[in-house]
Structure 1
Amino acid sequence: MAIGATIHTFTVQLSDVDRGVYDELSIRVARHPSETALYMLTRVLAYCLEYEEGIAFSEGVAATDEPAVLVHDLTGSIVAWIEVGAPDAARLHTGSMKAARTVVYTHRDPDKVAAAWAGKRIHRGDEVLLHSFDAGFVERMSGAIERRSTATLTRTEGRVYLELNGVSGESDIHTRSAL
């Protein structure tokens, strides 16, 4: 018998000063048995930092033809293709063709992630952005995840401040082109 996904609930007070987005989010995340806490937290961070009308999680690591997070407009068109981790160049190529904007959030070494894309065909690859965090930030904060988590997430001047279940951390958000 296969093990099903574990549902995690995050209540997030979001203050994204850089984008002028302020909201209280109730986020339900289905964590696949093979999904690490690092990947799941990076998915939640990507969702919050990209939050806008029409944002939704896909099936996560189980999704083969969708990114971790998608943004649709009112017509159903894909506005943003948001990958997490270390997607291959083919996924970025597909996403960049389907969406107006393609971004990647990673908890891994961004130089190694980008190196895997070098020389590969990625539609509008120079427009694809790779976001990463300070070394150790996601690892440290992922240890505070519970089945029901409360968080305060603030982004200001390119820096993220996260309090997750009483554990606080902060990191710069490092952004570079995928190519």
Structure 2
Amino acid sequence: MALSATVYNFSVQLADVDRGVYEELDLRVARHPSESAEFMVTRLLAYCLEYREGIAFSDGGVSSADEPAVLVRDLTGRLTGWIEVGAPDAERVHRGSKLADDIAIYTHRDPAKVLAGLAGKRIHRAGEIPLYSFDRAFVDAAVAVLDRRNTAALSVTERSLYLDINGSDLSTPVEEHRLN
């Protein structure tokens, strides 16, 4: 018998000062049984940090071979943004960079290991792809206070992320790395 996804609700007040994005988001995030809570939190953060018109969580999520964790489509349905989470393999990153105008990777893992796993592999426009990482203790602290219904205020200023989730105040720098 297959396990079904667990749905988490997030009410997020987003204030991304760096990009001038201010929104109130009501999100339903389905956590697949094979998905870690850390991956889900990173996926939520990636969604918020990349928020723009046409953004969505992919239908397949972590189990989809054809779509990233988060994607962006324009009004015609054309894929314009490919946002990977975790430690994607080079083939997925290569495919995404060919299909979408914008591509980014967000990770809760050791960025040096993620970069090492992609180094020397064939990746279209590799030098243009940012890898963003969060401090592992930050992600662990966010996971520790998760409920099925969550209230969060997320602010980003000067590449620092401030998160008040369910009454817990957390912060981390958003480190940017580049594929070579």
2:10 maps to 10
Q: Distance in 2 between matches of 1:57 and 1:70?
A: 6
Offset at residue 111 of structure 1 (A): 0.5
> Where do 1:22-101 residues align within 5 Å?
22-58=22-58, 59-101=60-102
Offset at residue 119 of structure 1 (A): 0.6
Deviation track 1:25-77 (CA, whole Å, cap 9, x = no partner) reads 00111111111110000000000000000000012112111000000011111
State the identity %.
58
Q: Which amino acid aligns with 1:150?
A: T
Q: Distance in 1 between matches of 2:103 and 2:134?
A: 18
Q: Which amino acid aligns with 1:20?
A: G
Count of residue pairs brought into register by the alignment? 179
Q: Distance in 2 between matches of 1:34 and 1:81?
A: 21
2:141 is paired with a residue whose SS is helix
Q: Distance in 2 between matches of 1:135 and 1:151?
A: 19
Deviation >3 Å, runs of 4+:
none
2:142 maps to 141
Identify unmatched segments of 5+ residues in structure 1: none
Deviation track 1:101-126 (CA, whole Å, cap 9, x = no partner) reads 11000000000000001110000000
1:117 maps to 118
Identify unmatched segments of 5+ residues in structure 2: none
Q: Distance in 2 between matches of 1:143 and 1:37?
A: 9
Given the alignment of the two structures, is residue 164 of structure 1 paired with residue 165 of structure 2, yes or no?
A: yes
Q: Which amino acid aligns with 1:43?
A: R
2:177 maps to 176
Q: Distance in 2 between matches of 1:10 and 1:135?
A: 21
Offset at residue 135 of structure 1 (A): 3.5
1:26 is paired with a residue whose SS is strand
2:53 is paired with a residue whose SS is coil
